[in-house]
Structure 1
Amino acid sequence: MEPKYDGEAVYIDSNIVVYRSSNGKFGVIDIRNSKIRIPDKYDEVNCMFSDSLIEFKYKGKYGFVDKKTGKELVAPKYDYVVNSDYFENLVRVIINNKCGLINKITGKEILPVKYDYDSFTSGYYYGNGDILIEIKLNNKIGLVNRNRVVVVKPIYDEIKGIGEGIVTVGINGLYGFVDARNGKIAIKPQYNYAGIFSEGLAPVVEGIW
C-alpha cells in the first residue's frame, strides 16, 4: 500500500519517507506499514545529517530521528548543532551556551553539555599527527584527545601550544609545562614567561622582565 500524506516527499529511504505538508511542516511515514510515525510538526529537517540520523528543528530546538525506524531518537533539546573540525562522526551541541559532544551516528552523548560555548574549536597538532583539542570550563582551559579523554584538566588560564609532546600552560600569571600524553605536570608553573619546546629547549623568564 502506498503511504498517503498531504504534501511532497523530501527524502525517501528503504523504510521511511520524510514529507513536507501543505502547511510547510515536516513529518515521517513508515513505508513498511504506511503509518505516520511522526505527524507533520517539524520546522526544519536535515536528512543528510548522517547515514543513520535525520536532524530536525522543533520550536527552536534540535533533535534527531532514526532513519531506520522513523522514531524520534533524541527529543528536541539542543539550541545548536555544529560540526566539529577535529572529531570524526562527532558534533558539538549547545544548550544555554554550554557545549558537549554527541555521536552523529547513534545520537549518544559522548561528552556532557557542561563546557563553555567555544570548547572543541581549537586544536594543537604535535608528534606524528596527534592532536589535543581545547575544552573550557568556567573560562578555564584544558585539553581532550581524539578518543575524548580529558588529558589536561580545564584548570589553566592559558595554553600557549605544544612542542615535542610538552604543553606550555599558564595559571595565575605563572607558566609551566605539562606532558601532552598523560597530563602530568613536567615543570610546575613558576615562570613569569615560558615559550614552546623546540630541540629540547624552551625559553623561560623567572622574575621581572
Structure 2
Amino acid sequence: MQRHRLFINNRRLTVMLAAGLFTLAAFFGLGNTYAHADRWEVFDQGEHLFFPEGPIEIDGVVMVPLRPVAERFGYTFESVDNKEIVLKDAKGYKAVIRLGTKTALLGHEGGTKTQLSAQVPRNFNGAWFIDLALAGAMGGQGHSTVPGTNLIQLRPVTGDAKTKLESQYWFNFNVKGETVSVDNQGQEQLKTSYASVLDFGYEELIPVKKSGYTAGFMNRSGELAIEAPHYQLGQFSEGLAWFKDLVKTESGGITVKMGYINRAGKVVIPAIYNRANDFSDGLAKVSGAKTFYIDHNGKTVIPTVTGLQSSESFSNGLAAVTVRTIIGGKSVIRTGFINTKGKWAIKPIYDYAGSFSEGVATAALNGKSGLIDIKGNWIVKPKYSGGSTFLGQFHDGYILLAISGKYDYTYRLVGTKGNIIAVPGAGQIAGFGDGILSYYGDNGMGFMNLAGKVIVNPAYSFGGNFTAGAGKAFKGLMNNEYSAFLINKVGEVVWSEE
C-alpha cells in the first residue's frame, strides 16, 4: 500500500468560526474561492470533442469553433471573405454563414432553409466561432443538454447518454510517485511519472510537473503534448490557460508576469499582466497598474470600473464588483454586478455579494445575508447573521447553510428556489455533488443521499464531492499520511491503491 503525505489536519471540525467554515467549503468543493463559469463539455455521437479553443459562453450563449465542427460533419470550406463563409458537404449541400449577422443558409434535401442564431459569428485568434444552434443544425440533429449536467450533445448517443458520457471523466491519484488516471468505473486508464494535482475530468490536456518543476501539458496518452517551460501553468478554460513567467526588472530584480497560451502551445496573449484569471463568459479579469477585462484576442472589453475596490471573474454573465460610491450623501463601499458589456446589471447596493453560480449568488444587506437571482431579486431574504452563513457557491443545485447555535453549527442545504433541506442524520455536512452528500459522524466521514439513506458509513478522514457518478475518499494512516479510494453512487469501492 502506497502512503501519501497528508497536508491538512484531519481532526474533526466541530465549533468553527465563519472564516474557518469558508476554508472548509473551498476545500470540499462547496464553491470555488474564485468565480468560474460552468465548463460546458460538448459530445458528438458519444465522443467528447476536444476543441483547439472554446467552448466559449457569451451572454448565456455557448459558442464553438466552426472549423473542427464543420469538418467533423463532413463539410469543406469553399470560400471565406469578409461577408460570408461558404461550406459544402459530400452530397453537395451548402452552408452559408453570413458574418456580422445572426442568419445562415443551410442546404438540405428539401431546398434551403434559414437558420437563426442567438449570437453573430465571432473571431478569436483567427478562428471563427458559431453558436450551438447553428452547429447542431449543420449536424442535422440540433443539440441538447443532458438534464442536470453541463454535457451537451450534437448528434446524440443512443441509450443512457448521461452514463455513457460521464464514463469519459477521469480521476487522478498519486500512487508510488506516479499519476494514475481512473474512470468512474474504477478502470485504470493511464499511469505516468508526470505529476498533477488536478483530475483530468473531461479535459484532453492538463498542466503537469516533472521532478517538482513545471513541464507543460500532458495528454490522455501520458505524453507531454505541449512543452511549456514557464514558471507556472494554469488549467485550460475556454481553450486558453494562463501562464507565469519570471521577468527581470530594470533594477535587476525579478518579477512575475502572466499571459495566456492556447491548446496548440502558442502564446496568444503575451505575459504583460501582474495577475491574470481564468477565462469565463468570453472574458478574463487581468491586472497591471489597473484591473480590467479582456477577450480572447487580448483586447480590452471592459476598462477599469470607476471607484473600483475589488472585482471577480464573470459567471452566469455577471461579475461581482465592489466600488466606493455615494449613498445618502455618504461615501460607502458597496458591491453590485456588471454584465459583459461593463454596464451595471445589478446596482452596487450590497454590503457584500459573492459570484453567481447556477443563477444564484449570496448577498448581504445591513449586516444580514441572503440569496439573490440574476435580476437582483431576493430568493432568500437577508436574515442570517451572528455567525450563520452561506458557504461557497451553488453546486449541483444546492448551497450549504451553516446556522450558528450555542455550541455548534446546524447545517442545511438550500436549493436554487430557496427551499431548505435538513438531511436526516447528516450531522456535520462536508459537501454535496451529483446527488450525494458527504458528512461527518463519530468515526469519520461518510456518504448519504438527500433522503438520508447512508451509502457509506463514516470511516474516512476526508473526501471530495461526487461528480460523474463517483467520488474520492481518503483514510489517514500513521505519520500524517493517507490512502486513496474511489467510490460509486451505491457505496462500492471501485478503485483503491490498497
Q: Do the two structures share a fold, i.e. TM-score over 0.5?
A: no
The TM tier, using the shorter chain, reads: 0.3 to 0.5
TM-score between the two structures when normalised by the length of structure 1: 0.45
TM-score between the two structures when normalised by the length of structure 2: 0.22
* Larger proportion of strand: 1
1 or 2 for the larger relative contact order (CA 8 Å, sep ≥6)? 2
